[in-house]
A and B are shown apart, each in its own frame.
Chain A
């Protein structure tokens, strides 16, 4: 799985949870910039991402997942380690 495919799949997850966001807004989305993105939104997003990528996040890592970019980097690192 390449970095670009990880990001495009992540964009799909975001589009499911935040249907009002455009593709451009998704790539720059953060918890602060997206009003609908609160802590419960993060949990929902996490469960969708886990289902999409077939793995589980560490609970202690959740506080770090506050933007699209950070989540994407997290997934790329995890994928690289798994490979």
Chain B
């Protein structure tokens, strides 16, 4: 592993082992690499231009630029197995941010960027270890700056004359010949003059709109860049199999307790699942049915139960239990209980379906679906862990990956497009209840075009309400598009342009309406009052 620009903080056992043969700290670690300083300053400039004074498209461009620059700046050539997966996730997320961005996506992308840089040190990007490396940024940045400052003070950073000329000579030559070519062409002179004017105008605006918060951002980005170029990496603890250290089998004291617990839980689940099927499957629900109690809160509690089942199984099948010769009987009980847990998971999905069927889909119900899926994956991982005798550390790392992937797909996928499309299809099929979600839930710009079919709804109150809603949202959309025109491409959001084009086909329904007029306000209020019955 190249130690030029990374610190390896070894685990205590390794320090003890290495103390017998101490190694001298390589001089290359103390050397200043001007490339790193240039990259850090470039990132500060890009952040200011693309993020602070830009928008979400600028943020995506900044993240991709940081990816390229940090890759060039780091000396590491090792790649952990997951590096291509992390890279793909990061690129996909940046595409989504350019489509329609929010700060949750940008935060997730920055964490993925850190995970990518971490994986380039040769370490597998486990969630906990990546977060730990992020928490070390302050320390890493301070260490990196200390190295640079010390080297400069000790004049280790003196750059030799040949090295300076390596860069300076081609720059001067390019400038001189370039100037001659420009002087020979008046149109080129005009072009350059316009570019210089634009640049000075940019500087003028930069200093006019300058704020102290910007300096905080500069320092933070510079620090992050220095910390990432010279990261402190803890060698990840091994998650070898639990049985690797065990050579003798022996009866566990807790076998009887574990067996009895599994028997009781299996019986309890049988009773409960029969109750669940009788009360909530294959029936029509009467008016006044407490949907939120059963489907909303109830589903959450059952998800907690599933999570607890995962913990129970992990605790029961620990290392000493795995060595018990009676483990096979215990595993058979665990399989029976696991099947019941999977049926319970189906029951949770059924409850969510009941709620969605009642009054439509929402972002939070999608969160519920993702959450349930994550819990099921976690449960399956426990079963795999028991079967293959993996360690507890192995299980925790994989479960954290499951959570991380769930969060990633939630921020990546166009959730609102799906939610609105589903609700509108239900309304057009004759179920008016999902209309309440148009009234109470936020709809992002890329969800707006999916409301257009409601303009042909046979329900006049819904038609008028949607027209009033689109009149207001269209005005906001037009305003945001004009901001993009004024502030340039870093503020671009392609979803808005697409929504504008799609809405154009039906814009005549509301173009003559003033969104702030009492007529529009009344239509919207009437719609809200009408749909509230399904809230």
Chain A residues with CB under 8 Å of chain B are: 31, 38-40, 42-43, 59, 62-63, 65-66
Contact = CB atoms under 8 A, between A and B. Distances in A.
A62 B512 contact: yes
Contacts of A66: 508
Interface string B471-515: 000000000000000000000000000000000111111011000
Interface residues of B, number: 9
Given A39-B508, A62-B511, 20 more contacts: A31-B505, A38-B504, A38-B507, A39-B504, A39-B507, A39-B511, A40-B511, A42-B508, A42-B511, A43-B511, A43-B512, A59-B512, A62-B508, A62-B509, A62-B512, A63-B455, A63-B506, A63-B508, A65-B508, A66-B508
**Which residue, of A38, A39, A59, A66, has the highest number of chain B Cβ atoms within 10 A?**
A39
Label chain B's interface by main secondary structure: helix
B238 to A, nearest CB: 64
Q: Chain A contact residues: over half helix, strand or loop, or mixed?
A: helix
Nearest to A62: B508
Nearest to B507: A39
A39 B474 CA distance: 13
Query: Which has the most chain B C-beta neighbours within 10 Å: A43, A62, A63?
Result: A63
Nearest to A59: B512
B138 to A, nearest CB: 54
- Considering the complex of A and B, which 3 residue pairs feature the smallest CB-CB distances, nearest first? A39-B507, A63-B508, A62-B508
A42 B507 CA distance: 10
A42 B505 CA distance: 12
Contacts of A62: 508-509, 511-512
5 contacts: A31-B505, A39-B508, A43-B511, A62-B511, A62-B512
Interface string B93-129: 0000000000000000000000000000000000000
Interface string B338-376: 000000000000000000000000000000000000000
Contacts of B455: 63
Specify which of B455, B506, B508, B511 lies most central, judged by the most chain A CB atoms within 10 Å of its CB.
B508
Nearest to A40: B511
A47 B502 CA distance: 25
Interface in B452-473: 455
A66 B511 CA distance: 14
A40 B508 CA distance: 8
B61 to A, nearest CB: 31
A66 B508 CA distance: 9
Nearest to A64: B508
B190 to A, nearest CB: 32
A59 B504 CA distance: 17
A68 to B, nearest CB: 15
B509 A63 contact: yes
A63 to B, nearest CB: 4
Nearest to A65: B508
Interface in B271-319: none
Contacts of A39: 504, 507-508, 511
